Structure 1
Amino acid sequence: MKRELLRQLPSVDKLLLDARVQFLIDRYSHAAVVGIVRGELEAARGEILAGSDVPSQECLTDRVERRVRGSWEPSPRHVINATGVILHTNLGRAPLSRDAVAAMQAVGGYVNLEFDLATGARGSRHEHLNGVLRQLTGAESSLVVNNNAAAVLLALTSMAREREVIVARSQAVEIGGGFRVPDVLRQSGARLVEVGTTNRTYIRDYAAAITPETAAILRVHPSNFRIVGFTHEPALGGLAQLAAARGILLIDDLGSGCMFETEQFGLAHEPTVQESVEGGVDLVCFSSDKLLGGPQGGIILGRTSLIQAVGAHPLFRAVRADKTAIAALGATLMHYLRGEALTKVPVWRMIALTADEASARVENWRQRLGNLGEPKATSSTIGGGSLPGQILPTVALALGPTLPAGGRDNGALTVNELSSRLRQQSPAVVGRIERDQLLLDPRTVAEDEDEALLQSVQRALA
């Protein structure tokens, strides 16, 4: 009986004649695709012997296509983020501005990364961004590395190795992906001294913990959670005065790198880079790919003497930023310098989008899709470990709970099936499922992605 079922499987040659498989052979390689075809047929034989039904030729072709694309398609690839989460960590955090992308392309060849064109002598990669960061933040000097965790690690390693660093117990946090502040401190060679309680810490707690072995106070902004209720933490100015009076450093792990007053968008106050610099912090560390809206990177600001000492540490070479990140970050910072960040930096353009503007785009989508779905009032979030608990009112296109689908006997497609199909499109589309509906939030979809989004939805429903 099972032998008869096995005979129903198409041959290798028959699968190779399929138009989709022929396309894969032309795009990649005959030998490699043949190997995957044989592998999928062998897997199907095993499934049949284990009691499964005979897969159709279309099903086998789908499997071959997924295997080939999964193995050799360029990755990562373009994804349309329709989740409404602006700084989606799993989707690459901040989308870059057009100027930032162009700047990265412009430095694809040889550049004056560490070469002084005026003198012909060796230059410094620090200098490319030092001027604009000084102008924007008021800090004397700066250093750029490949992410904020590296910035904090480098600052602690260079300034506090084999000495004590004081941290409030409420700030000994996990920053995501299992990485914890105590672990970063341990890796730096510094010794952690926790003070205060989970919900209340005072200046006197810090003062009592300072010893001749103390190198610094580390303040960590809890950017991915909030403690509310019976709480207290010292003002930044008070910590700066204490550190200066006792001859130790104040290091501020600011996290999100915000340079705007977030209250103007109906959000809670997010500490800004300028506030830390003006507050007397010795070294300020923050991400460049969160609320700053640039490429992945970490920025350290501080007095020139301290920045020079940090940059001279051997660890800096292991974590320094490359030419493309420096170029993209420079273009992003220029948006702030020219006063155009709210319109040119995608993160801030998304934050500034109103619910009425989102509703108008959803209505346009519905008309283009034959009045498919319905507008639904919902909320977007910032994400990326920034402004936890803060929401932005929006209107999303709600699809489901079932949808019409071509090529289906019952003509119906569930939202989970549609979500899966959308993720397989080119470009892939990622939405969010809420109460048996798939929501597509225009806040995180660039306007020049609308056409591609609608085409992906139409193909997924075909």
Structure 2
Amino acid sequence: MARVGPGAGEVTGTGTMDTQTQQLMRRVPSVDAILKEPELEGLAVQYGRKPVADAVREAVATIRQELLAQPPWRGRPALASRGHPGLACPDEGIGDLVAPSNRGHELAPAQAGDTHDTQGQDALATDEAEIRDRIVTGAKEQIEAVMRPFYRRAVNATGIILHTGLGRAVLPAAALAQIQQTLGSYSLLQVDRQTGKRSRRDERIEWLLQRLTGAEAATVVNNNAAATAIVLNTVAKGKEVIVSRGQLVEIGGSFRLPDVMAFSGARLVEVGTTNKTHPRDYENAFTENTAAILRVHPSNYKIQGFSAEVPLDEMAAIAHRHNLVMIDDVGAGALLDFSQFGFEPEPMLADSIRQGADLVTCSADKLIGASQGGLVLGRKSLIEAVRKNQFARIVRVGKLTLAVLEATLKLFLDESLALREVPTLRMLRRSAAEIREHAERLAAQIREKDVAAAVATTSGFSEMGSGSLPAQNLATTLVAITPQRIGVDVLAQRLRRHETPVFARIQNDQVLLDPRTLRDGDDEIVIQAVAAALAASE
């Protein structure tokens, strides 16, 4: 019988590596040798040699650590399928990086009467190829995981049309085409074709907004918070701005209007109460240091019941009687009447201009359906002052934003075209019958996969999201999934971790899918993701 003890091959108390482990370690290929594998050579051409080499080094290091951690060779598994923790990528959903063909592969334990040396030699003879395969597989999966786009496609099955976490508005096809054309080459960004001299990069956006809203002038910055800040800094730095207490909003990320005002250099003067503000509250707040009145549309909350606010045209009249600037922050920014979708009337940019606002600000990526941006419209002299503000350089937008915004705004020159081509508006226009038929079809296709869950349809509500049209919902039909072997939280997480992430809602111990926000091609992804998530072991 084989002797067990120092000299028999195990690690001694002094930390000496056992002989068989030393022999096995010598069979771990070098980084250079692994890089010559055809699969990795191809990846090196695609992604560059350095990131591929880094992935190989991590894979080699992980294998060495596994071998060193093994107990004496007799009866131990050859590279047990524990994955490559050292190769984990900070991208949710990558999961175990061990190739499926290698999972669960173990050497049979030594039988009674086997000699330690014979078992070890047999294992050493068969493991060199496996070690190489494991390194190649680990490196390949690591580099592909690292190089896979983080900002990539996801499926929005939540029914939240403007989902901030999922990128808010889906861009129109016209905007995508203009991105391809404009950013794939040099472009007319800030040059006059007639003179060859430098021009304003917002000229085209101004032209479109003038026609869409009736404003004298307009410009664009990188978001509505920046638009509000630069407007206040331009007209009221070091001076007072009057605001109703009921409009001191907090937007996403804990950014509060009083903080934005403080950053701009304007001094906040609160008037009225949370639920009621009257004209006299504004009249009584004026001092010789007052520069403007600011109205903030409560786009992300709603005060109902015993409440009152001063209409914009009346506020503007008060401001102009005192030679003050009337600023209207409309938030979500509507270019058409949203009551046609069943919502309560939302302030339209053209209405704000018509009712006397001197400066109007709003987001471009909410109800307009473009990419992130902040629009500033109003009197020409004030817009020129905003452009000359040194802060304008800090919040200036680039050619990507301008290209998307131009293409999207052009669609609104004909409302019927916007309703047909802007995805945000198309989702709002979907009929109850269309959504119900979609939900029933999707539920039936999921049931055909023989999943371990009850799948049915139920009535529910979609919402606008991103602080737009608060406390207002649209009736919809949902696909309701009640898993039988796993919890709803586990199912929802597995859907998010799918190769193309699928985001759903959880309510009443069910995972809910809303067809309203599903795009072309999303159904197949959802069906595959649900089937895979429910088929996986607990």
TM-score range, shorter chain: 0.7 to 0.9
Instruction: Name the counterpart of 2:165.
Output: 90
Give secondary structure in 2 for the equivalent of 1:200.
coil
Instruction: Name the counterpart of 1:381.
Output: 463
Structure 1 CA distance for aligned equivalents of residues 408 and 69 of structure 2 = 53
Instruction: Name the counterpart of 1:159.
Output: 235
Aligned with residue 32 of structure 1, among 42, 54, 61: 54
Instruction: Name the counterpart of 1:416.
Output: 489
Instruction: Name the counterpart of 2:96.
Output: 63
1:267 matches 2:343: yes
Instruction: Name the counterpart of 1:361.
Output: 438
Closer, same or farther in 2 for the Cα pair 1:370/1:300, shift >3 Å? same
Closer, same or farther in 2 for the Cα pair 1:70/1:154, shift >3 Å? farther
Task: Tell me how large the CA RMSD over aligned residues is.
Answer: 3.1
Alignment-mate amino acid for residue 364 of structure 1: R
Instruction: Name the counterpart of 1:453.
Output: 526
Structure 2 CA distance for aligned equivalents of residues 186 and 110 of structure 1 = 40
Measured after TM superposition, the shift of residue 178 of structure 1 is 1.0
Instruction: Name the counterpart of 2:34.
Output: none
Structure 1 CA distance for aligned equivalents of residues 274 and 67 of structure 2 = 59
1:170 matches 2:246: yes
Closer, same or farther in 2 for the Cα pair 1:300/1:33, shift >3 Å? same
CA deviation vs aligned residue, 1:150-196 (integer Å, no higher than 9, x gap): 10011011111111111111111111211011101100111111111
Closer, same or farther in 2 for the Cα pair 1:258/1:43, shift >3 Å? farther
Structure 1 CA distance for aligned equivalents of residues 401 and 426 of structure 2 = 21
**What TM-score results when the alignment is normalised by the length of structure 2?**
0.75
Measured after TM superposition, the shift of residue 358 of structure 1 is 1.1
Deviates more, 1:24-33 or 1:305-314: 24-33
Q: Tell me if structure 2 keeps the 8 A contact 1:36–1:68.
A: no
Give secondary structure in 2 for the equivalent of 1:400.
strand
Measured after TM superposition, the shift of residue 267 of structure 1 is 1.5
Q: Tell me if structure 1 keeps the 8 A contact 2:221–2:374.
A: yes
Structure 1 CA distance for aligned equivalents of residues 499 and 335 of structure 2 = 35
Structure 2 CA distance for aligned equivalents of residues 424 and 25 of structure 1 = 29
Larger RCO of the pair (alpha carbons < 8 Å, separation 6+): 1
Closer, same or farther in 2 for the Cα pair 1:188/1:46, shift >3 Å? farther
Structure 1 CA distance for aligned equivalents of residues 438 and 55 of structure 2 = 42
Aligned with residue 154 of structure 2, among 79, 82, 85: 79
Structure 2 CA distance for aligned equivalents of residues 246 and 153 of structure 1 = 23
Aligned with residue 510 of structure 2, among 437, 440, 460: 437
Instruction: Name the counterpart of 1:408.
Output: none
CA deviation vs aligned residue, 1:49-79 (integer Å, no higher than 9, x gap): 9xxxx99626548434797666443221111
Aligned with residue 428 of structure 2, among 341, 345, 351: 351
Closer, same or farther in 2 for the Cα pair 1:355/1:174, shift >3 Å? same
Matches for 1:50-449 after TM superposition, within 5 Å: 57=81, 59-60=83-84, 62-64=95-97, 71-108=146-183, 109-339=185-415, 340-371=417-448, 373-402=455-484, 412-449=485-522
Q: Tell me if structure 2 keeps the 8 A contact 1:126–1:143.
A: yes
Structure 2 CA distance for aligned equivalents of residues 234 and 43 of structure 1 = 71
Structure 2 CA distance for aligned equivalents of residues 56 and 444 of structure 1 = 44
Measured after TM superposition, the shift of residue 13 of structure 1 is 5.9
Q: Tell me if structure 2 keeps the 8 A contact 1:25–1:33.
A: no
**Percentage identity across aligned positions?**
42
Structure 2 CA distance for aligned equivalents of residues 156 and 448 of structure 1 = 45
Measured after TM superposition, the shift of residue 401 of structure 1 is 2.8
Closer, same or farther in 2 for the Cα pair 1:24/1:329, shift >3 Å? farther
Larger radius of gyration: 2
Give secondary structure in 1 for the equivalent of 2:468.
coil
Closer, same or farther in 2 for the Cα pair 1:153/1:457, shift >3 Å? same
Structure 2 CA distance for aligned equivalents of residues 39 and 269 of structure 1 = 63
Structure 2 CA distance for aligned equivalents of residues 94 and 24 of structure 1 = 39
Closer, same or farther in 2 for the Cα pair 1:116/1:379, shift >3 Å? same
Deviates more, 1:180-189 or 1:63-72: 63-72
The count of aligned residue pairs is 440
Structure 1 CA distance for aligned equivalents of residues 69 and 487 of structure 2 = 26
Closer, same or farther in 2 for the Cα pair 1:436/1:211, shift >3 Å? same
Closer, same or farther in 2 for the Cα pair 1:46/1:326, shift >3 Å? farther
Structure 1 CA distance for aligned equivalents of residues 531 and 487 of structure 2 = 15
Give secondary structure in 1 for the equivalent of 2:233.
helix
Closer, same or farther in 2 for the Cα pair 1:199/1:45, shift >3 Å? farther
The gaps in structure 1 that reach 5 residues or longer are 403-411
Q: Tell me if structure 2 keeps the 8 A contact 1:252–1:284.
A: yes
